[in-house]
Amino acid sequence: MSVVLRRFVQIGTINSRFQVKSSLLISNRCGYEYDFGRNFSQVRRLEAQGVPSKQAEAITSAITEVLNDSLESVADSFVSKTDMQKTVMLQEAHLSKLNLKYKVRSLDGLNTTVSRRTRQDNRKHDRTADQGLEHHFSSLQRETEKLRTDIDKMRSELRYEIDKVTAGQRLDLNLERGRIRDELANQNAETTNLTNKLDREIHGLRAQVEAAKYDVIKYCIGTLISISAVGLAVIRILM
């Protein structure tokens, strides 16, 4: 692609040089035609050589017309500067377009390569990730099995310890229950004895109170009788 672009540049350079040389040649020839048409030196030379003036002028006019026709045909065969500039601009635009296409293709190829490498890298990454996940999953399974075994072992040990503690607590509870039962029986016996003793003392106190009540009543009656007798005696004396 770079060789083709270089070739187009060389062609454009050669055409521009050829156009410059052609334009210089045409301008030189036009200047010669102008000098030849305006000067009568040729006519005078012909007259000096014995050619009549009319014939010399006719010959000079004919030569001038032939030269003008030749120059016009030569000028027509060459490209004008404006057309050449247009051609150069078109070639430059074409070169720019080709360069842009080449860059676009290069970018497309680069994008394709990058996409391909990205897909390959993604596939490798996916494979590596899958392998890593499988390895991680296997490790998790092993760890889970190990933890499950440890949990079952700890559960068995805990159940054994619980049964052992429960059996000991049951024995202690039974012993404590028997001891409490005995203490309650002893306390009930003591309470019964105390109750009976209190009942006996209460009955004794009641008997004492009743006896004291009778004595008080006796003393009160005796006192009243004595007071009544004294009062009657005093009344009798006063009467």
Q: What's this model's pTM, rounded to 2 decimal places? A: 0.27
Q: Is residue 128 part of a domain?
A: no
At residue 22, the pLDDT reads 38
At residue 89, the pLDDT reads 80
Quick check: 36 pLDDT over 60? Answer: no
* Least confident residue range of 6-15, 40-49, 140-149: 6-15
CA dihedral 26, 28, 32, 34 (to 10 degrees): 70
Q: What are residue 79's phi and psi, to 5 degrees?
A: -95, 140
Residue pair 5/95 in contact by the 8 Å Cβ criterion = yes
Q: Is residue 56 part of a domain?
A: yes
Q: Average the pLDDT over 147-174 and give the result.
A: 87
Quick check: 32 pLDDT over 60? Answer: no
CA dist., res. 68 & res. 140, Å (int): 103
Q: Is residue 212 part of a domain?
A: no
Domain range enclosing 23: 2-119
At residue 79, the pLDDT reads 55
Q: Is residue 214 part of a domain?
A: no
Q: Is residue 14 part of a domain?
A: yes
Structure tokens at 82: 């404006």
Query: How deeply is 56 buried, as exposed, middle or buried, from its count of CB atoms within 10 A (0-12, 13-18, 19+)?
Result: buried
Q: How many domains does the chain have?
A: 1
Residue pair 64/34 in contact by the 8 Å Cβ criterion = no
Provide the percentage of residues in the chain whose pLDDT is more than 70: 69
Q: Is residue 75 part of a domain?
A: yes
Q: Is residue 213 part of a domain?
A: no
Query: How deeply is 229 buried, as exposed, middle or buried, from its count of CB atoms within 10 A (0-12, 13-18, 19+)?
Result: exposed
CA dist., res. 136 & res. 142, Å (int): 10
At residue 85, the pLDDT reads 76
CB within 8 A of 15, min separation 6: which ones? 79, 84, 87, 88
Q: Is residue 99 part of a domain?
A: yes
Could you say which DSSP state residue 78 is in? S
Comparing CA positions, the residue from 51, 62, 63, 56 lying closest to residue 40 is 56
Amino acid at 69: D
